[in-house]
Amino acid sequence: MLRVGVVGTGMIGQDHIRRMTTVLAGVEVAAVTDVDAETAKRVAEGLPGAVVHGTGEELIADPGVDAVVVCSWGPTHEQYVLASIAAGKPVFCEKPLATTEGACRRIVEAEVAHGSRLVQVGYMRRYDEAYRALKAVVDSGRIGAPLMMHCAHRNASVPAHYEKEMAITDTAVHEIDMVRWMFGEEITATRVLVPRRSRNGGALQDPLILVLETASGAIVDVEISVNIRYGYDIRGEVVGEEGTAALGELTPVTLRASRQLVSPIPADWRERFRRAYDVELQEWVDSIAGGGRPVGPSAWDGYAAAVVSDASVAALRGGSRVEVTLMPRPDLYADAA
Ligand code: NAD
Ligand code: ISE
């Protein structure tokens, strides 16, 4: 049984604890911590035998913790991932790996110095049935060479602590990672278009459109809306030389009544990606059980997404096209996307 310690017991921390304790096999939650000690204590009440630690560092050092799941705010990820690597413990870090290129680079360098993979990043779209089916079509060649992709990432609302640039660093990073994986190549340049502001977005610049260029010359547009009100809506359509392929509508039932066609829309990411998170974490547990290495999205993937994210923030601030340059990829990540 893999004994996991969870750092950060907010929304996704609690959701991952629920799945590790009631859905997945071969894993138990042995320890939790949160800067909000009351939240950690309350969450631990539902976890018989789990220890509540005062800090993430104490949790990581606990000999009763075999592996770490980091679910705290993005800017705090670096310290916990670096501490896990220093302790030689596998660490699943929710996205983004860290919020800046520099922080991700330090993580990559620490893992390379360690000499084997310990880090996996929570880019769960790679585990989603619809995204996997879309990639299978693209890889099959059935629509010819991919030329463009149109994406929309719409949140009904976002928490009060969500700041302007998080539309890129916390939300669009999902598409940034997905595009690298879907197209099997790096993103080489980015621009950000700024439409008229939604009155639902308060001080946020909402919506935004990212325009990403890939190494082969494909162009991907990504609409980011974070106060769309009507639900959580994730879209993607790849345009190829011979056809197009799009993420399917995921609803299990559509209702025709009263002269209307009705199908439900997920409330948020927990509902839309429920199964993807299950598969992602079960595969992570299975990969590291018995001393194995993680095989999912790596620190390199987290680094590459952060470089594009930083470039997009610069493009948003400066209003121009920004080129993306990655450092040479270390051999440790030779099989990365
Ligand atoms: P949240 O605010 O609900 O929870 C974060 C928790 O971390 C809070 O309880 C907070 O007190 C705690 N925290 C903050 N700083 C800390 C620190 N230094 N040490 C320990 N705990 C600390 O936020 P959330 O929505 O659960 O997001 C958490 C992370 O998960 C973010 O990185 C976010 O991007 C990511 N996330 C990923 C997905 C996904 O689809 N993969 C979905 C939601 C959130
Ligand atoms: C959140 O952190 C997530 O990762 C969700 O998947 C995303 O839709 C949301 O915009 C982020 O804030």
What distance lies between CA 53 and its chain's CA centroid?
26
What distance lies between CA 19 and its chain's CA centroid?
17
* CA 36 to ligand 1: nearest atom: 11
For 43, which DSSP code?
A: H
- Give residue 260's pLDDT: 95
Q: Which portions of the chain are predicted below pLDDT 70?
A: 336-337
DSSP 93-137: EPSSS-SSHHHHHHHHHHHHHHTS--EEE--GGGG-HHHHHHHHH
- pLDDT tens, 205-218? 999 999 999 999 99
**Cα atoms found within 13 Å of the Cα of residue 14, Cβ hemisphere only:** 11
| Conformation bin of residue 155: beta by default, left when phi > 0, alpha when psi is -120 to 50 | beta
- Residue from 11, 176, 268, 280 whose mutation best tests the ligand 1 pocket (most atoms within 8 A of CB): 11
Q: Compute the distance between CA of residue 110 and CA of residue 155 in angstroms, rounded to an integer.
A: 34
Tokens of residue 159, six digits = 């928490």
23 burial type by CB count under 10 A (0-12 exposed, 13-18 middle, 19+ buried) = middle
Assign domain 126-273+305-323 to its CATH superfamily: Dihydrodipicolinate Reductase; domain 2 (3.30.360.10)
Q: Compute the distance between CA of residue 294 and CA of residue 119 in angstroms, rounded to an integer.
A: 7
Contact assessment for residue 13 and residue 77, using Cβ atoms and an 8 Å cutoff: no
Distance 161 CA to ligand 1 centre (A): 11
Distance 77 CA to ligand 1 centre (A): 9
Distance 118 CA to ligand 2 centre (A): 24
- Residue from 11, 73, 124, 128 whose mutation best tests the ligand 1 pocket (most atoms within 8 A of CB): 73
Q: Where are the domains of the chain?
A: 2-124+276-298, 126-273+305-323
Task: Please report which ligand is nearest the Cα atom of 6.
Answer: 1
Q: Compute the distance between CA of residue 7 and CA of residue 60 in angstroms, rounded to an integer.
A: 9
For 160, which DSSP code?
A: T
- pLDDT tens, 249-277? 878 889 999 999 999 999 999 999 999 99
Indicate the class that CATH gives domain 2-124+276-298. Answer: alpha beta
Provide residues with CB under 6 Å of ligand 2.
155, 158, 170-171, 174, 269
- Give residue 95's pLDDT: 98
Select from 300, 292, 288, 296 the least CA-distant residue to 124.
Answer: 296
- Give residue 181's pLDDT: 98
- Give residue 336's pLDDT: 62
- Give residue 252's pLDDT: 83
- Give residue 337's pLDDT: 53
